[in-house]
Structure 1
Amino acid sequence: MSSDALDASFLKFWILSLGSIVALLLFRFFRSNIPSGRRVPPGPRTSCFGWVQLPTSYQWRTYAKWRESYGDLIYVGLLGNPILILNSAKVANDLLDKRGSKYSSRPGRPMVNDLMGWDWLFSSMPYGARWRSHRALFSQHYHPNRASAFQPLQLKETYAMLRNLAHDPERFVYHVRRSAAAVVMMISYGHQIAQEGDMYVNLADDALHALGKAGIFGTYFVDYMPFLKHVPEWFPGASFKRQAKEWRKLTRAMVDVPFTMIKQNITAGTAFPCVATFELEKSDGSPESEELIKDVAAIGYAAGADTTVSAIWSFFLAMTVGPDLQRKAQDELDRVLGGSRLPVFEDKPALPFIDCVVWECLRWNPVTPLGLAHYVTEDDEYDGYFIRKGTTVLPNVWCMLHDEKHYPDPFEFNPERFANSDENKKAGVNDLPWEAFGFGRRMCPGRWLALDQLWISIACVLAVFHISKVLDKDGHPIEPDREYTSSQLRCVCCHKYKRKSDFY
C-alpha cells in the first residue's frame, strides 16, 4: 500500500474517532440551534456519530444524482457542520441573488485559504470591508465600460496564438494558455511574456495548478471539518498538511515575485502602463495600500488566465464532437469576412452564431462546475425549511446548466439552443448561462474581459482552422473523453487556406 493510501486510511480513522467524540459532545448544542418545530431540507442520513460519506471527486455529478432522491435543496449535516447543496437555478437565484444580504459571504476554506495561503484572493474572502476594498479596486480596472480598452491587446495576442497554432498545431493546449497569460500579464504588470518558458507565467501556473487540485470544496476532508487544520504535520493521515506547506510556497511566489519585478521596473524607468503602475503611482505608500495593490494585480492573473483557458479548451473539444456545427459557424464567418481577413471585435453584431458558440461552451463544460461556496450569515427560512446561520452553501452549477427542463438535450453541444432568445423566453428554456460566472454580489467582476477573450479567440480560430478528431494508427477517429483534463485533450488543427501568411 502506498504512503498516500496509508495516510488516507489513517486520516479516515482519526476523523471517525475524533469526529465521533466531537459530534457526541456537540450534538445537543447543534440541535438546540434548530428551533422547535422547524425542519431542515432533506438529504442523506448521517450515522449516529454525525458521519456521512461525501464524494471527493466529480462531486457535482454525485450531488446531481442526489437530486432524484432529495430535490433541489439538499442538506448534509457533517459532524455539526451544515452544508446546503443547491441543484436548481431558481433556488440559487432566490437565495444567493434575492437574499444576498444573508448569503454573500464565503465559508472558511481551511485547505485553500489557511494552509495554502490563498486568503488574498477576494473571491474567497468573507463578505466585509476587506472584500469590498479588494473588489472595488479590481472593478475600477475591469469594469464593463473599460473592457473595450483591452480589445487591441486581446486581438494582438489572439493573432499571435494563430501563428503559433499554424507553426505547431499539436501544442494547441500550450498556445491557448500562453495567449490568455500574455493578455493578463500585460494588463496586471505591463509584462510582455516570452514565447517559451516565461518565469512569471510558470510561477503563476504552478500555483494555479495546485489550486486546481484543492480548490473544489470537499476535495480534502479538512474542508468539511476545519479542526483538522490544527493536526500536526507529523500526525498519521496529515499528508494534506505537508502538501499544503509546499503549495503555500508557490502561492506566495505567484503574488510576490512579479510585484517585485514591476517595482524594480518603475525605479529603472522601464515599466509599461498597467494596473500595478497606475495604482502604485497614486498610492500613499503605506504597507496596507501596497498589499492591496499587490493582491489585486495577482488576482487579475488568477481570474483571467485559468478560467478563460478552460473555456477555450472546451471549445476545441466541442468542435471535435460537432463538425456540422463547426461548419455552420465557419459559413457565417465566411459570409461576413469573405475569406479575406480575420475577425475583429467590430464584427460581433454580424456574427450571432459565434456568440451562441461562446455561451454553449460556458454551459456545456462550466469552468467551476460546483461554483464557489457561499456562507449563511443569518438564520433563514426557505420553502418551509430552516437554514441555520453558519451553513455552507454549494451551488451545483453543473447540475443547473444540465437541467433538461431548462436545457433540452443538455449533454449535447448545441449552440443553436441560444439562437432565438424570444422563443426561448416564451418557453422558459435556454437562458444564457450566467450561472457560470457566479451569483449575486459574488458574481465574477472580470466576466466582460473573459467574454471578449472567448469571443475573439473562438472567432479567429474558426476563421483560420478546421478542428477534427485525432486518428488512430489505422486511420479511425478517436472519440474524445468529454470529461477531459488538459493533458487528455487532443485534436487536429488543419489550416483552411494555402497562403497562411496572408492573414496574420
Structure 2
Amino acid sequence: MGWIDVFPFTPYGKSFQESRKVFQRQVTRQGSAMFQGAQILSGLLMTTFWLYHSFAASVAMEIAYGHQVSDREDNDPYLRIADQMNDMVAGLGPQGSNPVDLFPQREVLVLLRLTPSDPQVPIFNSAMRYGFDEVRQQMAFGTAKPSFLSRNLEVLNTEGKGDNEEDLRRLMTTSMTLYIAGGETTTGSLHALILALLLNPEAQKKAQEEIDAVVGPSKLPNFSDRDSLPYVQCVVNEILRWHPVLPLG
C-alpha cells in the first residue's frame, strides 16, 4: 500500500534510528509544550459541525503541519486526506481476513514482491506529499506556522541538509505518521470517555464539580490548571487504562 517507509513499519536499523531521532527532537515532554494551544477543546465546543473525528484530526494536523481548519469540514483537504487514509486501513479488514495472513512471513514477502502494487499506493503518496509541499512553500514565503514539520525543516536547513533527499523523505513520512496516528487515537479515547461518563454519572458529576470549583463557569480548563484538577486527571488516566486505543502490552 506504499506504507513501507512509514516510521512504525520501518525495520530496526539506521533508518529507524534516524526517524526516531526526528520524533525525539520535537515530541518530548518539554518539546510538546509548544503544541498545547492546538489541543484546547474550545474549537470542539464553539464549532457546531465538528464531530470527534474532525476535532481530533484537526489537532493532529495543526501539530504536524501548522494547518488550522477554518472552512467547512467537507471542504478541507487535510480532513479529506485523513478520511482517505482511514478508509485504506479499514479496507484491509480484520486480522486473518487477508490472504497474506494465511502464509508464514518469508512466503508472504515473496508473495508481495510478485503481487502488483495496491491501486491505493498513488493516493497514499499524494496524501503524504500534500502537507509536506505546502509547508515548504509556506516557509519559502515566510508564512509557515510553527509545527512539527516546519521546525524539523529549520533544523535541516541549519545543518546544511535542506536539499538531502533522504532526510527530506524521512521528514515527509514522520510528519504523515504523526498526522494519521494522532487523529484516530484521540478519537478513540474521546469515544471511550463519553461511554465511561454515561456508565458512571457519579464520576462525571464529581469531575464537573472539581472543574467548577477550580476554574469557574466563565472559561474552560487549560494546561495550567492541570495540577489543580487531580480527579479530572484520574478520569483521563482511567480512560487510557480501561480502553487503550492500541492494546499492545
Residues 321, 260 of structure 1: CA spacing in aligned structure 2 closer, same or farther, 3 A cutoff? same
How far apart are the structure 1 equivalents of 2:146 and 2:92?
34
How far apart are the structure 2 equivalents of 1:191 and 1:131?
27
Aligned to 1:229: 112
Aligned to 1:138: 23
Q: How does 1:62-461 map to 2 (within 5 A)?
A: 116-155=1-40, 158-164=41-47, 167=48, 174-195=50-71, 196-197=73-74, 198-214=76-92, 217-225=95-103, 226=108, 227-230=110-113, 232=115, 245-281=118-154, 282-283=156-157, 284=161, 285-369=163-247, 371=248, 397=249
Matched to 1:120, the amino acid is D
How far apart are the structure 1 equivalents of 2:9 and 2:96?
15
Between Structure 1 and Structure 2, which shows a larger proportion of strand residues? 1
Query: Deviation of residue 136 (structure 1)?
Result: 0.7
RMSD over equivalenced CA pairs, Å:
2.3
CA deviations 1:179-235 (Å, max 9, x no partner) are 2222222222222223422112211331133224438654423035214435656xx
- The answer to whether the 8 A contact 1:203-1:253 is kept is no
- The answer to whether the 8 A contact 1:176-1:312 is kept is yes
Query: Deviation of residue 366 (structure 1)?
Result: 2.0
SS of 2:38's equivalent in the other structure is helix
How far apart are the structure 1 equivalents of 2:10 and 2:4?
7
Residues 347, 180 of structure 1: CA spacing in aligned structure 2 closer, same or farther, 3 A cutoff? same
Matched to 2:12, the amino acid is Y
How far apart are the structure 2 equivalents of 1:162 and 1:182?
14
Query: Deviation of residue 301 (structure 1)?
Result: 0.5
SS of 1:192's equivalent in the other structure is coil
- The answer to whether the 8 A contact 1:314-1:361 is kept is yes
Matched to 1:192, the amino acid is Q
- The answer to whether the 8 A contact 2:19-2:174 is kept is yes
Instruction: Tell me the percent identity.
Output: 31
Residues 230, 273 of structure 1: CA spacing in aligned structure 2 closer, same or farther, 3 A cutoff? closer
Query: Deviation of residue 310 (structure 1)?
Result: 1.0
How far apart are the structure 1 equivalents of 2:132 and 2:115?
33
Residues 122, 224 of structure 1: CA spacing in aligned structure 2 closer, same or farther, 3 A cutoff? farther
- The answer to whether the 8 A contact 1:255-1:294 is kept is yes
How far apart are the structure 1 equivalents of 2:170 and 2:149?
10
Residues 221, 154 of structure 1: CA spacing in aligned structure 2 closer, same or farther, 3 A cutoff? same
Residues 338, 323 of structure 1: CA spacing in aligned structure 2 closer, same or farther, 3 A cutoff? same
- Give the greater-gyration-radius structure (CA): 1
Matched to 2:223, the amino acid is F
**Please, which runs of 5 or more residues in structure 1 have no aligned partner?**
1-115, 169-173, 234-243, 372-396, 398-504
Residues 159, 254 of structure 1: CA spacing in aligned structure 2 closer, same or farther, 3 A cutoff? same
CA deviations 1:104-147 (Å, max 9, x no partner) are xxxxxxxxxxxx11122211221111111001111111011112
How far apart are the structure 2 equivalents of 1:319 and 1:193?
28
How far apart are the structure 1 equivalents of 2:97 and 2:17?
28
How far apart are the structure 1 equivalents of 2:65 and 2:115?
38
How far apart are the structure 1 equivalents of 2:16 and 2:46?
40
How far apart are the structure 2 equivalents of 1:300 and 1:317?
26
Instruction: Count the aligned residue pairs.
Output: 237
Query: Deviation of residue 358 (structure 1)?
Result: 1.2
How far apart are the structure 2 equivalents of 1:262 and 1:339?
38
- The answer to whether the 8 A contact 1:181-1:301 is kept is yes
Matched to 2:147, the amino acid is C
Query: Deviation of residue 287 (structure 1)?
Result: 1.0
- The answer to whether the 8 A contact 2:6-2:177 is kept is yes
Between Structure 1 and Structure 2, which shows a larger proportion of helix residues? 2
Matched to 2:150, the amino acid is T
CA deviations 1:60-112 (Å, max 9, x no partner) are xxxxxxxxxxxxxxxxxxxxxxxxxxxxxxxxxxxxxxxxxxxxxxxxxxxxx
How far apart are the structure 2 equivalents of 1:271 and 1:121?
24
Residues 314, 250 of structure 1: CA spacing in aligned structure 2 closer, same or farther, 3 A cutoff? farther
